[in-house]
Homo-oligomer: A and B are copies of this chain.
Amino acid sequence: MKNVDIPSPARDVAVLINRRAVGHSLEADFYTSQKFFDLDLTAIFAEHWLFSATEAEIPDPGDYVTVGVGPYSVIIVRDDDDGVRAFHNVCRHRGSRILQDGCGSVGNLVCPYHQWTYRVDGTLVYVESQPPQFDRSASGLRSVHVRSIAGLIFICLAEQPPPDFDEVAAILEPYVAPFDLKHSKVAHQSDLIEDGNWKLVMENNRECQHCDVAHPELLTAYFPLFGYSANDIHPRIRPVFDRYRAAQEQLTQACSLTDFPRDGRRELDTRITGFQVSHMPLDGSGSSFGPNGDPVCRRLMGVIPDARFGDLSIHLQPNSWFHLLSDHAVVFRVLPLGPERSIVRTTWLVHRDAEEGVDYDLDGLTSVWNATNSQDRELVAGAQQGVADPGYLPGPYSMVEGDVEAFVSWYLQRLRAHVRS
Protein backbone atom coordinates (compact mmCIF):
# COMPACT_ATOMS: atom_id res chain seq x y z
CA MET A 1 0.00 0.00 0.00
CA LYS A 2 1.55 3.29 -1.03
CA ASN A 3 1.51 6.39 1.11
CA VAL A 4 -1.83 8.04 1.32
CA ASP A 5 -2.07 11.29 -0.58
CA ILE A 6 -3.84 13.71 1.70
CA PRO A 7 -4.56 17.28 0.58
CA SER A 8 -2.17 19.39 2.62
CA PRO A 9 -2.61 23.00 3.76
CA ALA A 10 1.15 23.18 3.84
CA ARG A 11 2.12 22.58 0.23
CA ASP A 12 5.47 24.02 -0.48
CA VAL A 13 5.05 27.77 -0.52
CA ALA A 14 7.91 28.38 -2.91
CA VAL A 15 6.19 26.34 -5.62
CA LEU A 16 3.04 28.37 -5.21
CA ILE A 17 4.90 31.68 -5.25
CA ASN A 18 6.75 30.77 -8.42
CA ARG A 19 3.90 29.35 -10.46
CA ARG A 20 1.55 32.27 -9.98
CA ALA A 21 0.04 33.40 -13.31
CA VAL A 22 0.45 37.16 -13.81
CA GLY A 23 -2.88 38.94 -14.14
CA HIS A 24 -4.74 36.24 -12.22
CA SER A 25 -5.90 36.02 -8.64
CA LEU A 26 -3.74 33.98 -6.27
CA GLU A 27 -4.21 30.28 -5.57
CA ALA A 28 -6.33 29.32 -2.59
CA ASP A 29 -3.53 28.48 -0.15
CA PHE A 30 -2.39 32.10 -0.08
CA TYR A 31 -5.76 33.05 1.38
CA THR A 32 -6.57 30.05 3.55
CA SER A 33 -3.55 28.18 4.88
CA GLN A 34 -1.88 28.61 8.24
CA LYS A 35 1.45 28.27 6.48
CA PHE A 36 0.94 31.36 4.35
CA PHE A 37 -0.57 33.22 7.28
CA ASP A 38 2.58 32.54 9.28
CA LEU A 39 4.71 33.54 6.31
CA ASP A 40 2.76 36.75 5.81
CA LEU A 41 3.27 37.66 9.47
CA THR A 42 6.98 37.03 9.19
CA ALA A 43 7.75 38.29 5.72
CA ILE A 44 5.24 41.12 5.39
CA PHE A 45 3.96 42.33 8.76
CA ALA A 46 7.15 41.83 10.75
CA GLU A 47 9.40 43.26 8.03
CA HIS A 48 7.60 46.29 6.61
CA TRP A 49 6.41 49.65 7.82
CA LEU A 50 2.82 49.40 8.99
CA PHE A 51 0.46 52.30 9.34
CA SER A 52 -0.68 51.92 12.93
CA ALA A 53 -2.26 55.05 14.39
CA THR A 54 -2.51 58.81 14.09
CA GLU A 55 -0.72 61.31 16.28
CA ALA A 56 -4.10 62.86 17.00
CA GLU A 57 -4.86 59.79 19.13
CA ILE A 58 -2.00 60.55 21.54
CA PRO A 59 -1.84 64.34 21.87
CA ASP A 60 -0.25 64.54 25.34
CA PRO A 61 2.70 62.92 27.13
CA GLY A 62 1.72 59.52 28.50
CA ASP A 63 -1.09 59.05 25.99
CA TYR A 64 -0.86 55.65 24.35
CA VAL A 65 -2.50 53.25 21.94
CA THR A 66 -1.80 49.55 21.73
CA VAL A 67 -1.64 47.84 18.34
CA GLY A 68 -2.07 44.11 17.80
CA VAL A 69 -0.13 42.76 14.81
CA GLY A 70 -0.88 39.07 14.73
CA PRO A 71 0.55 37.75 18.02
CA TYR A 72 2.46 41.00 18.68
CA SER A 73 1.14 43.77 20.86
CA VAL A 74 2.91 47.11 20.54
CA ILE A 75 2.58 50.18 22.76
CA ILE A 76 2.76 53.50 20.91
CA VAL A 77 3.16 56.25 23.46
CA ARG A 78 3.80 59.99 23.50
CA ASP A 79 6.94 60.64 25.54
CA ASP A 80 7.72 63.66 27.71
CA ASP A 81 9.54 65.43 24.87
CA ASP A 82 6.50 65.26 22.57
CA GLY A 83 8.12 62.40 20.68
CA VAL A 84 6.43 59.16 19.69
CA ARG A 85 7.87 55.89 21.05
CA ALA A 86 6.94 52.27 20.47
CA PHE A 87 7.62 49.21 22.63
CA HIS A 88 6.69 45.57 22.85
CA ASN A 89 3.79 45.39 25.31
CA VAL A 90 5.50 42.68 27.38
CA CYS A 91 7.12 42.89 30.81
CA ARG A 92 10.79 41.94 31.01
CA HIS A 93 10.21 40.00 34.25
CA ARG A 94 7.99 37.00 33.54
CA GLY A 95 6.40 38.31 30.37
CA SER A 96 3.04 39.63 31.46
CA ARG A 97 1.09 41.90 29.18
CA ILE A 98 1.59 45.43 30.56
CA LEU A 99 -1.31 47.38 29.06
CA GLN A 100 -4.64 45.68 28.46
CA ASP A 101 -6.60 48.61 27.00
CA GLY A 102 -6.53 49.77 23.40
CA CYS A 103 -5.78 53.34 24.43
CA GLY A 104 -5.37 55.48 27.53
CA SER A 105 -2.96 57.65 29.42
CA VAL A 106 -0.24 56.74 31.93
CA GLY A 107 2.46 58.33 34.03
CA ASN A 108 4.72 55.32 33.93
CA LEU A 109 4.20 51.94 32.34
CA VAL A 110 3.58 49.64 35.32
CA CYS A 111 3.23 45.88 34.92
CA PRO A 112 0.12 44.75 36.80
CA TYR A 113 1.71 41.45 37.86
CA HIS A 114 4.67 42.43 40.09
CA GLN A 115 4.76 46.18 39.48
CA TRP A 116 7.90 46.38 37.41
CA THR A 117 7.79 50.05 36.43
CA TYR A 118 9.06 51.62 33.21
CA ARG A 119 9.21 55.27 32.12
CA VAL A 120 7.44 56.18 28.88
CA ASP A 121 10.90 56.17 27.28
CA GLY A 122 11.13 52.45 28.16
CA THR A 123 13.65 52.74 31.01
CA LEU A 124 13.12 50.31 33.91
CA VAL A 125 12.92 52.41 37.09
CA TYR A 126 11.49 50.08 39.74
CA VAL A 127 11.67 46.39 40.61
CA GLU A 128 11.38 44.59 43.94
CA SER A 129 13.29 41.66 45.46
CA GLN A 130 15.82 41.25 42.70
CA PRO A 131 19.31 40.34 43.86
CA PRO A 132 21.91 43.14 44.21
CA GLN A 133 23.67 42.20 41.00
CA PHE A 134 20.50 42.73 38.95
CA ASP A 135 21.13 45.22 36.11
CA ARG A 136 18.09 47.41 35.46
CA SER A 137 19.60 49.03 32.41
CA ALA A 138 19.54 45.68 30.60
CA SER A 139 15.85 45.18 31.31
CA GLY A 140 14.14 48.18 29.76
CA LEU A 141 11.19 47.67 27.47
CA ARG A 142 12.15 46.34 24.05
CA SER A 143 11.67 49.12 21.54
CA VAL A 144 9.99 48.94 18.14
CA HIS A 145 10.88 51.23 15.23
CA VAL A 146 8.42 54.08 14.86
CA ARG A 147 8.09 57.03 12.44
CA SER A 148 5.49 59.66 11.75
CA ILE A 149 4.65 61.15 8.36
CA ALA A 150 2.95 64.43 9.14
CA GLY A 151 0.88 62.83 11.90
CA LEU A 152 0.48 59.32 10.45
CA ILE A 153 2.34 56.87 12.69
CA PHE A 154 4.12 53.85 11.22
CA ILE A 155 5.87 51.06 13.10
CA CYS A 156 8.26 48.39 11.90
CA LEU A 157 8.88 45.21 13.90
CA ALA A 158 12.03 44.26 11.98
CA GLU A 159 15.45 44.85 13.44
CA GLN A 160 16.47 46.42 10.14
CA PRO A 161 13.50 48.30 8.67
CA PRO A 162 13.22 48.79 4.90
CA PRO A 163 15.66 51.53 3.92
CA ASP A 164 13.38 53.42 1.53
CA PHE A 165 10.99 54.78 4.14
CA ASP A 166 12.69 58.19 4.34
CA GLU A 167 12.36 58.59 0.60
CA VAL A 168 8.67 57.75 0.66
CA ALA A 169 8.13 60.00 3.67
CA ALA A 170 9.78 62.86 1.81
CA ILE A 171 7.50 62.29 -1.17
CA LEU A 172 4.30 62.06 0.86
CA GLU A 173 4.99 64.78 3.41
CA PRO A 174 4.13 67.73 1.09
CA TYR A 175 0.77 66.13 0.28
CA VAL A 176 -0.15 65.34 3.87
CA ALA A 177 1.36 68.20 5.87
CA PRO A 178 -1.12 70.88 4.70
CA PHE A 179 -3.93 68.90 6.34
CA ASP A 180 -2.08 69.22 9.69
CA LEU A 181 -3.24 65.82 10.90
CA LYS A 182 -0.92 66.07 13.87
CA HIS A 183 -3.11 68.78 15.29
CA SER A 184 -6.40 67.32 14.19
CA LYS A 185 -8.73 65.45 16.51
CA VAL A 186 -10.30 62.01 16.34
CA ALA A 187 -14.02 62.48 15.73
CA HIS A 188 -14.76 58.77 15.50
CA GLN A 189 -13.11 55.40 15.24
CA SER A 190 -14.58 52.02 14.29
CA ASP A 191 -13.16 48.51 14.30
CA LEU A 192 -14.66 46.00 11.91
CA ILE A 193 -13.79 42.32 11.99
CA GLU A 194 -13.87 40.83 8.53
CA ASP A 195 -14.19 37.15 7.74
CA GLY A 196 -11.46 37.18 5.16
CA ASN A 197 -7.71 37.03 4.70
CA TRP A 198 -6.05 40.46 4.94
CA LYS A 199 -5.02 40.28 1.26
CA LEU A 200 -8.64 39.98 0.16
CA VAL A 201 -9.40 43.11 2.20
CA MET A 202 -6.57 44.94 0.48
CA GLU A 203 -7.48 43.65 -3.00
CA ASN A 204 -11.04 44.77 -2.45
CA ASN A 205 -9.76 48.25 -1.64
CA ARG A 206 -7.58 48.36 -4.72
CA GLU A 207 -10.34 48.32 -7.33
CA CYS A 208 -13.65 50.05 -7.73
CA GLN A 209 -15.19 47.81 -10.37
CA HIS A 210 -17.44 46.55 -7.60
CA CYS A 211 -18.43 50.08 -6.53
CA ASP A 212 -21.14 50.63 -9.13
CA VAL A 213 -23.43 48.02 -7.64
CA ALA A 214 -22.05 47.64 -4.11
CA HIS A 215 -21.45 51.22 -2.94
CA PRO A 216 -24.28 53.57 -3.88
CA GLU A 217 -23.51 55.94 -0.97
CA LEU A 218 -19.83 56.27 -1.77
CA LEU A 219 -20.43 56.87 -5.46
CA THR A 220 -22.57 60.00 -5.00
CA ALA A 221 -19.45 62.12 -4.47
CA TYR A 222 -17.45 60.77 -7.39
CA PHE A 223 -17.79 61.54 -11.08
CA PRO A 224 -19.53 58.62 -12.81
CA LEU A 225 -16.67 58.17 -15.23
CA PHE A 226 -15.19 55.05 -13.81
CA GLY A 227 -13.65 52.88 -16.50
CA TYR A 228 -13.72 55.60 -19.14
CA SER A 229 -10.83 57.57 -20.62
CA ALA A 230 -10.71 60.83 -22.54
CA ASN A 231 -10.34 58.85 -25.75
CA ASP A 232 -13.63 57.00 -25.65
CA ILE A 233 -16.16 59.49 -24.33
CA HIS A 234 -19.61 58.46 -25.47
CA PRO A 235 -21.86 61.42 -26.42
CA ARG A 236 -24.26 60.38 -23.65
CA ILE A 237 -21.65 61.07 -20.95
CA ARG A 238 -20.09 64.08 -22.64
CA PRO A 239 -21.79 66.53 -20.19
CA VAL A 240 -20.34 64.57 -17.24
CA PHE A 241 -16.93 64.63 -18.79
CA ASP A 242 -17.05 68.38 -19.37
CA ARG A 243 -18.08 68.91 -15.77
CA TYR A 244 -15.17 66.70 -14.68
CA ARG A 245 -12.67 68.69 -16.75
CA ALA A 246 -13.86 71.95 -15.20
CA ALA A 247 -13.54 70.50 -11.71
CA GLN A 248 -10.03 69.32 -12.50
CA GLU A 249 -9.09 72.79 -13.65
CA GLN A 250 -10.47 74.35 -10.49
CA LEU A 251 -8.60 71.85 -8.30
CA THR A 252 -5.37 72.70 -10.11
CA GLN A 253 -5.90 76.36 -9.30
CA ALA A 254 -6.68 75.64 -5.65
CA CYS A 255 -3.46 73.66 -5.39
CA SER A 256 -1.35 76.34 -7.00
CA LEU A 257 -2.52 78.87 -4.40
CA THR A 258 -0.56 77.03 -1.72
CA ASP A 259 2.09 75.26 -3.79
CA PHE A 260 0.29 72.02 -3.07
CA PRO A 261 1.83 69.31 -5.30
CA ARG A 262 -0.60 68.56 -8.10
CA ASP A 263 0.80 65.44 -9.73
CA GLY A 264 0.00 61.95 -8.57
CA ARG A 265 2.61 59.28 -7.95
CA ARG A 266 2.21 55.56 -8.44
CA GLU A 267 4.98 53.34 -7.06
CA LEU A 268 2.83 50.50 -5.83
CA ASP A 269 5.08 47.64 -6.87
CA THR A 270 8.33 49.30 -7.83
CA ARG A 271 9.78 49.74 -4.33
CA ILE A 272 9.72 48.09 -0.90
CA THR A 273 7.50 50.72 0.69
CA GLY A 274 5.01 50.66 -2.16
CA PHE A 275 2.59 53.57 -2.36
CA GLN A 276 0.30 55.59 -4.59
CA VAL A 277 -0.98 59.12 -4.22
CA SER A 278 -3.63 60.73 -6.40
CA HIS A 279 -5.74 63.82 -6.16
CA MET A 280 -9.18 63.76 -7.79
CA PRO A 281 -11.91 66.38 -7.91
CA LEU A 282 -15.31 65.45 -6.52
CA ASP A 283 -18.67 65.84 -8.28
CA GLY A 284 -21.67 67.97 -7.29
CA SER A 285 -20.74 70.81 -4.99
CA GLY A 286 -17.33 69.14 -4.99
CA SER A 287 -16.41 69.47 -1.33
CA SER A 288 -16.75 66.23 0.52
CA PHE A 289 -18.64 62.94 1.05
CA GLY A 290 -21.92 64.63 2.01
CA PRO A 291 -25.02 64.34 -0.24
CA ASN A 292 -24.32 65.96 -3.63
CA GLY A 293 -20.65 66.34 -2.64
CA ASP A 294 -21.51 68.71 0.21
CA PRO A 295 -19.20 69.33 3.18
CA VAL A 296 -19.57 67.22 6.32
CA CYS A 297 -17.69 69.65 8.61
CA ARG A 298 -17.63 73.46 8.68
CA ARG A 299 -13.97 73.78 9.69
CA LEU A 300 -11.39 73.19 7.00
CA MET A 301 -8.38 71.04 7.77
CA GLY A 302 -4.96 72.62 8.39
CA VAL A 303 -4.08 75.22 5.77
CA ILE A 304 -6.37 73.88 3.04
CA PRO A 305 -7.38 76.99 1.10
CA ASP A 306 -10.63 75.92 -0.50
CA ALA A 307 -13.58 73.75 0.55
CA ARG A 308 -13.54 72.36 -3.00
CA PHE A 309 -10.25 70.53 -2.68
CA GLY A 310 -11.21 67.07 -3.98
CA ASP A 311 -10.07 63.74 -2.56
CA LEU A 312 -6.38 63.30 -1.86
CA SER A 313 -6.14 59.53 -1.87
CA ILE A 314 -3.08 57.61 -0.65
CA HIS A 315 -2.52 53.87 -0.86
CA LEU A 316 0.30 52.23 1.04
CA GLN A 317 1.52 48.64 0.95
CA PRO A 318 0.88 46.46 2.81
CA ASN A 319 -2.00 47.64 4.98
CA SER A 320 -3.45 51.13 4.62
CA TRP A 321 -5.25 53.76 2.63
CA PHE A 322 -6.25 57.36 3.29
CA HIS A 323 -8.72 59.91 2.02
CA LEU A 324 -7.81 63.50 2.89
CA LEU A 325 -10.54 66.03 2.10
CA SER A 326 -10.85 69.73 2.77
CA ASP A 327 -13.05 69.24 5.83
CA HIS A 328 -11.99 65.85 7.26
CA ALA A 329 -9.74 62.89 6.77
CA VAL A 330 -10.62 59.22 6.96
CA VAL A 331 -7.78 56.73 7.37
CA PHE A 332 -7.84 52.93 7.19
CA ARG A 333 -5.64 50.26 8.71
CA VAL A 334 -5.89 46.51 8.02
CA LEU A 335 -4.35 43.97 10.38
CA PRO A 336 -4.43 40.17 10.16
CA LEU A 337 -6.15 38.10 12.85
CA GLY A 338 -5.92 34.68 11.24
CA PRO A 339 -5.81 33.06 7.81
CA GLU A 340 -9.46 33.89 7.35
CA ARG A 341 -10.00 36.86 9.65
CA SER A 342 -8.82 40.46 9.64
CA ILE A 343 -9.61 43.69 11.43
CA VAL A 344 -10.12 47.03 9.73
CA ARG A 345 -9.83 50.19 11.80
CA THR A 346 -11.31 53.37 10.35
CA THR A 347 -10.48 56.71 11.96
CA TRP A 348 -12.24 59.97 11.13
CA LEU A 349 -10.21 63.13 11.79
CA VAL A 350 -11.44 66.73 11.83
CA HIS A 351 -9.87 70.08 12.72
CA ARG A 352 -8.98 70.03 16.41
CA ASP A 353 -11.28 73.00 17.06
CA ALA A 354 -14.27 71.52 15.22
CA GLU A 355 -17.11 70.91 17.67
CA GLU A 356 -19.48 67.99 17.35
CA GLY A 357 -23.05 69.23 17.05
CA VAL A 358 -21.83 72.64 15.93
CA ASP A 359 -19.35 72.13 13.11
CA TYR A 360 -20.24 68.54 12.26
CA ASP A 361 -22.56 65.80 13.32
CA LEU A 362 -21.24 62.32 13.70
CA ASP A 363 -23.73 60.60 11.47
CA GLY A 364 -23.18 63.01 8.60
CA LEU A 365 -19.42 62.63 8.97
CA THR A 366 -19.30 58.86 9.11
CA SER A 367 -22.32 57.45 7.30
CA VAL A 368 -20.77 57.05 3.84
CA TRP A 369 -17.77 55.05 5.02
CA ASN A 370 -19.71 53.12 7.63
CA ALA A 371 -22.00 51.98 4.83
CA THR A 372 -19.10 51.32 2.47
CA ASN A 373 -17.13 49.36 5.06
CA SER A 374 -20.13 47.23 5.83
CA GLN A 375 -20.75 46.53 2.14
CA ASP A 376 -17.09 45.65 1.61
CA ARG A 377 -17.23 43.34 4.59
CA GLU A 378 -19.93 41.28 2.84
CA LEU A 379 -17.97 41.16 -0.39
CA VAL A 380 -14.76 40.10 1.33
CA ALA A 381 -16.56 37.36 3.27
CA GLY A 382 -18.05 36.03 0.02
CA ALA A 383 -14.63 36.14 -1.65
CA GLN A 384 -13.06 34.24 1.26
CA GLN A 385 -15.75 31.55 1.07
CA GLY A 386 -15.20 31.19 -2.65
CA VAL A 387 -11.41 30.95 -2.68
CA ALA A 388 -11.57 28.42 0.18
CA ASP A 389 -13.74 26.15 -1.99
CA PRO A 390 -11.80 23.37 -3.76
CA GLY A 391 -13.86 24.31 -6.82
CA TYR A 392 -11.99 27.64 -7.02
CA LEU A 393 -9.50 28.33 -9.79
CA PRO A 394 -7.62 31.65 -10.07
CA GLY A 395 -9.34 33.88 -12.63
CA PRO A 396 -8.31 36.84 -14.79
CA TYR A 397 -8.25 40.42 -13.53
CA SER A 398 -10.15 42.92 -15.66
CA MET A 399 -8.62 45.97 -17.32
CA VAL A 400 -9.63 48.14 -14.36
CA GLU A 401 -8.04 45.91 -11.71
CA GLY A 402 -4.47 47.07 -12.31
CA ASP A 403 -3.96 48.16 -8.71
CA VAL A 404 -5.02 44.71 -7.52
CA GLU A 405 -2.36 43.23 -9.78
CA ALA A 406 0.12 45.79 -8.41
CA PHE A 407 -0.71 44.79 -4.84
CA VAL A 408 -0.33 41.08 -5.59
CA SER A 409 2.84 41.68 -7.58
CA TRP A 410 4.33 43.73 -4.70
CA TYR A 411 3.32 41.01 -2.23
CA LEU A 412 4.99 38.24 -4.22
CA GLN A 413 8.14 40.30 -4.69
CA ARG A 414 8.33 40.79 -0.93
CA LEU A 415 7.84 37.06 -0.26
CA ARG A 416 10.58 36.25 -2.76
CA ALA A 417 12.91 38.78 -1.15
CA HIS A 418 12.22 37.22 2.25
CA VAL A 419 12.85 33.73 0.97
CA ARG A 420 16.15 34.83 -0.58
CA SER A 421 17.33 36.70 2.51
Chain B residues, Cβ within 8 Å of A170: none
Over the window 1-38 of chain A, the binary record of Cβ atoms lying under 8 Å from chain B Cβ atoms (1 yes, 0 no) is 11111110000111001100000010010000001001
Given contacts A96-B383, A382-B96, A394-B95, contact A210 B113 (CB under 8 A): yes
Contact status B113-A388, CB under 8 Å? no
In the assembled complex, A112 has its CB within 8 A of some CB on chain B: yes
In the assembled complex, A232 has its CB within 8 A of some CB on chain B: no
Chain B residues, Cβ within 8 Å of A17: 1
Chain B residues, Cβ within 8 Å of A305: none
Interface SS majority for chain A: loop
Contact status A73-B391, CB under 8 Å? yes
In the assembled complex, A256 has its CB within 8 A of some CB on chain B: no
Number of A residues whose C-beta is below 8 Å from B?
80
Smallest CB separation, A252 vs chain B (Å): 28
Contact status A1-B419, CB under 8 Å? yes
Contact status B95-A386, CB under 8 Å? yes
Contact status A73-B389, CB under 8 Å? yes
Smallest CB separation, A418 vs chain B (Å): 8
Smallest CB separation, A378 vs chain B (Å): 8
Complex CA gap A35/B9 in Å reads 11
Chain B residues, Cβ within 8 Å of A358: none
Contact status A112-B394, CB under 8 Å? no
Smallest CB separation, A337 vs chain B (Å): 14
Given contacts A71-B388, A92-B395, A95-B395, contact A35 B6 (CB under 8 A): yes
Chain B residues, Cβ within 8 Å of A100: 382
Smallest CB separation, A64 vs chain B (Å): 16
Contact status A391-B89, CB under 8 Å? yes
Counted per complex, copies of this chain come to 3
Smallest CB separation, A160 vs chain B (Å): 16
Chain B residues, Cβ within 8 Å of A25: 93-95
Given contacts A89-B391, A227-B129, A391-B72, contact A382 B97 (CB under 8 A): yes
Contact status A130-B391, CB under 8 Å? no
In the assembled complex, A264 has its CB within 8 A of some CB on chain B: no
In the assembled complex, A131 has its CB within 8 A of some CB on chain B: yes
Contact status B91-A386, CB under 8 Å? yes
In the assembled complex, A257 has its CB within 8 A of some CB on chain B: no
Smallest CB separation, A70 vs chain B (Å): 8
Report A71-120 residues with CB < 8 Å from chain B CB: 71-74, 88-98, 100, 112-115
Complex CA gap A379/B400 in Å reads 52
In the assembled complex, A387 has its CB within 8 A of some CB on chain B: yes
The 5 A-B residue pairs with the shortest CB-CB distance, nearest first, are: A88-B391, A129-B398, A95-B386, A97-B385, A95-B387
Could you jot down 30 A-B contacts, CB within 8 Å? A1-B14, A1-B419, A2-B420, A4-B13, A4-B14, A6-B35, A7-B41, A7-B42, A28-B95, A71-B390, A73-B385, A73-B389, A73-B391, A88-B391, A90-B392, A91-B386, A93-B396, A95-B383, A95-B386, A97-B385, A97-B389, A112-B378, A113-B210, A128-B209, A128-B227, A129-B227, A129-B398, A129-B401, A134-B396, A144-B391
